[in-house]
Amino acid sequence: MEIDPNNISNPELHKLFLGGVAPRPIAFASTIDKDGNVNLSPFSFYNAYGINPTTLIFSPSRRGRDNTTKHTLENVKEVPEVVLNAVNYDMVQQMSLSSTEYPKGVDEFVKSGLTAIDSVKVKPPRVKESPLQFECKVRDIIEISGKAGSGNLVICELLYVHADENIFDENGNIHPDKIDLVGRLGGDYYVRTSGEAKFKVPKPITTLGIGVDSLPEEVRLSKILSGNDLGILGNIESLPNEKEIVDSMKNPLYRSLAKDETARHNYAKKLILENNLHEALKVLMLSSL
Ligand SMILES: Cc1cc2nc3c(=O)[nH]c(=O)nc-3n(C[C@H](O)[C@H](O)[C@H](O)COP(=O)(O)O)c2cc1C
Give residue 99 CA to ligand 1 midpoint distance, Å: 6
Question: Do residues 167 and 256 share a domain?
Answer: no
- For residues 63 and 74, the answer to whether their CB atoms sit within 8 Å is no
Both 134 and 254 in one domain: the answer is no
75 CB under 6 A from ligand 1?
Answer: no
For 232, 245, 262, 285, the CA distances from 218, given in Å and listed in that order, are 16, 16, 11, 9
Q: Please check whether residues 142 and 279 belong to one and the same domain.
A: no
Q: Which atom of ligand 1 is nearest to the CA of 70?
A: 25
Shared domain for 151 and 114, answered yes or no, is yes
Domain-located, residue 109: yes
- Beta strand extents in the chain (DSSP E only): 27-32, 38-43, 46-48, 55-58, 81-85, 116-117, 126-127, 132-143, 152-163, 182-184, 190-192
Instruction: Assess whether 218 and 175 both reside in one domain.
Output: no
52 & 181 share domain: yes
For position 200, what pLDDT does the model report? 83
Domain count, the chain: 2
Amino acid letter for position 188:
D
200 contacts 176 by C-beta, under 8 angstroms: no
The helix (run of H) or strand (run of E) holding residue 264 is helix 261-273
CB of 161 closer than 8 Å to CB of 134: yes
Query: Is there a domain that residue 206 lies in?
Result: no
pLDDT of the residue at 269: 98
Does 275 share its domain with 139? Answer: no
Three-point CA angle 71, 75, 80, nearest 5°? 150
Q: Residue 85 contacts by C-beta under 8 Å, 6 or more apart in sequence?
A: 27, 28, 29, 30, 126, 127, 130, 132, 133, 134
What spacing in Å lies between the alpha carbon of 98 and ligand 1's midpoint? 9
Q: In the 8-state DSSP scheme, what is residue 240? A: P
Give residue 146's pLDDT: 97
My answer on whether 38 and 73 are in the same domain is: yes
**Structural domain for 233, as ranges:** 212-288
Nearest residue by C-alpha to atom 13 in ligand 1: 43
24 lines ligand 1 (CB under 6 A): no
Q: Report CA(62)–ligand 1 centroid distance (Å).
A: 10
Q: How far apart are CA 131 and CA 165, in angstroms?
A: 9
Q: Are 181 and 87 in contact (CB under 8 A)?
A: yes
Looking at the structure, tell me whether residues 140 and 222 fall in a common domain: no
Q: In this structure, is residue 119 part of a structural domain?
A: yes
Tell me: do 186 and 216 sit in the same domain.
Answer: no
Shortest-distance Cα residue to atom 26 of ligand 1: 71
- Ligand 1 mean position, distance from CA 4 (Å): 26
Q: Is 60 in the pocket of ligand 1 (CB under 6 A)?
A: yes
pLDDT of residue 105: 83
Any domain includes 179: yes
What pTM was estimated for this model as a whole?
0.89
CATH number of residue 52's parent domain: 2.30.110.10
How many Å lie between the centroid of ligand 1 and the Cα of residue 27?
Answer: 10
**Residues 187, 223 within the same domain:** no
Is 108 within the bounds of a domain? yes
Q: Which residues of 186-212 are buried (b: 16+ CB within 10 A; e: fewer)?
A: beeebebbeeeeeeeeeeeeeeeebee
Ligand 1 mean position, distance from CA 41 (Å): 6
Mean pLDDT by 10 residues, the chain (289 residues): 95 94 97 96 98 97 96 98 97 94 90 96 98 98 97 98 98 97 95 89 87 95 96 94 96 96 98 97 92
Give the distance from CA 97 to its chain's centroid: 23
For residue 197, being part of any structural domain is answered with: no
- Choosing from 21, 70, 84 the residue with most ligand 1 atoms within 8 A of its CB, the one to mutate for a pocket test is 70
User: What was the pLDDT predicted at 198?
Assistant: 83
Of 131, 163, 192, the residue that ends a domain is: 192
Same structural domain for residues 59 and 176?
Answer: yes
Task: Point out the domain boundary residue: 163, 192, 221.
Answer: 192
Of 192, 220, 249, the last residue of a domain is 192
Query: Among the atoms of ligand 1, which is closest to the Cα of residue 46?
Result: 8
Residue 203 lies in a domain: no
H/E stretch holding 261:
helix 261-273
In a domain, 93, yes or no: yes
Which helix H or strand E contains 111, and what residues bound it?
helix 108-112
The predicted structure's pLDDT at residue 282? 97
